[in-house]
């Protein structure tokens, strides 16, 4: 499609947002056109969905899944796909793998159905590279200052999310690269840059 699509995934407090920001700036400094974005909440409708998701508490698991999927459908159509068509590098903080990890593994929704719904919501658009920042949830959660309904969930939920991510990484080792995010930030950044550089050399 022209552009390069990179996603960053991980449990709460894994450092995704920090890494996404640093990578985006580093790519811009190379003179590349970068579109830094995140899920949920990067469209007009998405920002309203995000409010519901992070502030509300009681809801069925499927209602939650469909809200994330609705946010993604908007995001792909209005932000990600147009940027890729313009030949830009899209760096996205969370994407489809989050719904597999959180709603299928975390909440126990049917895995095949979530895969299929992701396929529908994204129109089959899969990232070229996914950096999975892996950290034990006890360490990640301890780093989080501002807690939403997600961080308030029991530790076991977050452990299942982590297993979900690691399962995905085993299933798609070419796309999903696991980084040990319990290490010093500088080390994680260096490893992330190396993986992005490899993706860039295949793309450019
Ligand atoms: P956000 O404040 O953006 O958190 P973070 O900085 O950790 O990404 O809130 C997003 C929350 O939504 C986060 O706790 C993970 C969760 N989430 C899902 O459960 N499923 C999804 O598909 C996505 C995209 C996010």
Ligand 1 pocket, mutate which of 102, 133, 154, 158 (most atoms under 8 A from CB): 102
What are the angstrom distances between the C-alpha of 163 and each of 42, 54, 97, 104?
A: 27, 23, 12, 11
pTM of the model: 0.97
| Partners of 92 in beta bridges | 7, 37
Chain segment 46-76, per-residue pLDDT in tens: 999 999 999 877 899 999 999 999 999 999 9
Crossing angle between the packed helical segments 61-75 and 111-122, to the nearest 10 degrees = 30
Minimum mean pLDDT among 1-5, 32-36, 113-117: which range?
1-5
* Distance, CA of 139 to CA of 188 (rounded, Å): 15
Looking at CATH, the fold of the domain delimited by 4-203 is given as: Rossmann fold (3.40.50)
* Distance, CA of 60 to CA of 72 (rounded, Å): 19
Chain segment 10-35, per-residue pLDDT in tens: 999 999 999 999 999 999 999 999 99
Domain residue limits, the chain: 4-203
Residues with beta carbon inside 6 Å of ligand 1?
12, 17, 39-40, 54, 68, 94, 98-99, 102-103, 148, 150
Nearest Cα to 166, choosing from 64, 14, 18?
Answer: 14
Task: Let me know: does 86 contact 33? Beta carbons within 8 Å.
Answer: yes
For residue 94, which atom of ligand 1 is closest to its CA?
Answer: 24
Indicate the SS3 state at residue 9. strand
């Amino acid at each position: 499609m022209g552009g390069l699509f990179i996603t960053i995934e991980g449990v709460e407090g894994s450092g995704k947002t920090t890494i996404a920001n640093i990578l985006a700036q580093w790519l811009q400094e190379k003179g590349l056109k970068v579109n830094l974005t995140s899920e949920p909440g990067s469209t007009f409708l998405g920002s309203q969905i995000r409010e519901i998701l992070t502030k509300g508490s009681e809801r069925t698991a499927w209602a939650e899944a469909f809200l994330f999927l609705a946010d993604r459908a908007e995001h792909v159509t209005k932000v990600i796909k147009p940027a890729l068509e313009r030949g830009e590098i899209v760096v996205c903080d969370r994407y489809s793998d989050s719904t597999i990890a959180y709603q299928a593994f975390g909440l126990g929704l049917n895995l095949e159905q979530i895969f299929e719904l992701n396929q529908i919501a994204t129109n089959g658009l899969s990232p070229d590279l996914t950096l999975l920042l892996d950290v034990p949830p006890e360490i990640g959660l301890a780093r989080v200052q501002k807690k939403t309904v997600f961080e308030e969930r029991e530790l076991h939920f977050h452990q299942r999310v982590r297993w979900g991510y690691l399962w995905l990484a085993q299933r798609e080792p070419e796309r999903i690269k696991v980084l040990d995010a319990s290490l010093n930030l500088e080390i994680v950044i260096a490893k992330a840059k190396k993986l992005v550089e490899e993706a860039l050399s295949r793309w450019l």
